[in-house]
Amino acid sequence: MTPIIVIRVDGRDFSVPAGITVAAALAYTERQTTRRSVSGECRTPFCGMGVCQECRVTIDGLRRPACQTLCRENMHIERIK
> Per the structure, how many domains does the chain have?
1
d(CA 58, CA 14): 16
SS3 67: helix
Residue-wise pLDDT tens digits, 28-43: 888 888 888 889 888 8
- Which CATH number do you get for residue 23? 3.10.20.30
pTM over 0.85: yes
- For residue 61, name the pLDDT band (cuts at 50, 70, 90): very high
Is a pLDDT exceeding 80 seen at residue 81? no
> Which residues share a beta bridge with 14?
7
Range of the domain at 19: 4-79
